[in-house]
Amino acid sequence: MTVLIGRRLRRIDLPHRDLLALTIGGAGGQSVLVYRLDGSPRGAGVVDDRPRGDPANAFTQRLRKLVGGAVITDAKTGPGHRVVLTLRRGDGAKTLLLRPARDGGVWVLDEELRLLAAGPGGRSPIKAGTVVAEDVQAACDPLDDDALEARGPSLAEGVDANTLDAEKGALGKLLARTAKRLARRADKIAAEEARADEADPLRADAALILSHLHAYRDGADSLEVQDYGSSPPTRRTMPIDPALGAKGYADALFKRARRAERGGKMAAERRRLTEGECAKIVDLRRRLEDAEDATAVAALADEAAASGVRGARGAGTTKRRKPTHGRLPYRRFTGHGQRPILVGRGVADNDALTLRHSKPSDLWLHARGLRGAHVIVPLGRGESCPPELLIDAAILAAHFSAAAGEDRIEVQHTPRRHVRKPRGAAPGAVMVDRERVTLLRHEPARIARLLETEER
């Protein structure tokens, strides 16, 4: 037993939620005892290099405080993959009991085998101070050095493989969700393109009405016409809006025809762009299936985020979620002139951002008539928002709205002093006065640049 006995705990880590890593050092050099808490394979092993991963959480810090720097005086194993390390430090002896998570996880015991700490994960069913001698006494076999060294790499690699699968699964779900959203958009665009076919019939009806103006009586809601364009010519009754009259109604039909034609052309361009986005998502999903390491998945996540996949930034990493204590209700981006732009994280966060984290002089923006984030551009008293900064903020308001990715979108903006919350209004709902509206085109490159500036 030369691997562990007499060596000191230099460092304690939980690089993954299923893996405990104890860096031990001494005269013979440094190695790492790894213990697999969940998944397969389980148990203990030794590796040369410390596995990297999540930063220290509260339980890791607690372990470091209780047993960091202690010397291992004994090491035993027992049924159920349990490992018992007897430790000695200046403040007395302690015992570190390692078991699979379902059996209790990691326990720290004092000199009298009373429970001091348990984790990681949820609350331990055993209260602090309870004597747990039986769990320690069940481990009575010495750890085998050769078995530890043989098993170590597979334990660490197994966690890496599980983590990789989880990361690929998370990004895969985002890509699948984006593919469905693009499919819905494509259906909507197809319907808009189909409406372009209404232009010619609308013009024909308008021309018929104009050619029979002499037969129209003021205030009538219909007009009898002879349609010589049909074969054979037929008598038709044309509906008329009495408020417009025959000529006004014909002009309205011409206007509808022009709008249908214009909408059809815009829809064709949007269809082309959407098809390009769909092809990009298909390519990302194919490459994700072939990805063999976390670096490749992280690169694909960044590429997906740049392509407008919501939530993809960071999907290919195992970073720990930030604690909610002190959490800000907004994301912070950097716009033109290195100026900050604040974007609400959710419905309730929109209220907090607008009502509690902004000044009356700030500029407020929102996608007009749509669900989406409140956006704030901090401004000084009497300061006007620079045009390029306004466009950057409006681009973010459009991106974080229900119309994200649409070819054209209207964004309303006004000084924050003109935004108020009616009593009893739903979360995120506000009343806006003196608004101005900016019509934006979808700019993927600009969106990608802005998203890259998010502070994390």
pLDDT tens figures, 56-86: 888 999 999 999 999 999 999 988 888 999 9
376 or 196, greater pLDDT: 376
Q: pLDDT tens-digit profile of 11-48?
A: 999 888 788 999 998 776 789 999 988 877 778 888 88
- Burial class for 79, CB neighbours closer than 10 Å (0-12, 13-18, 19+): exposed
189 or 154, greater pLDDT: 189
What distance in Å separates the CA atoms of residue 122 and residue 129, rounded to the nearest whole number?
A: 18
Q: pLDDT tens-digit profile of 288-332?
A: 888 877 777 888 887 888 777 877 655 555 444 443 445 789 999
pTM of the entire predicted model: 0.42
Domain borders along the chain are 8-143, 162-306, 330-452
CA contacts within 13 A on the Cβ side of 28: 12
In CATH, the number for domain 8-143 is 2.30.310.10
Beta strands in 205-315 (DSSP E): 222-227, 234-239
Residue type present at position 155: L
**437, 324, 335: which is closest to 389 by C-alpha?**
335
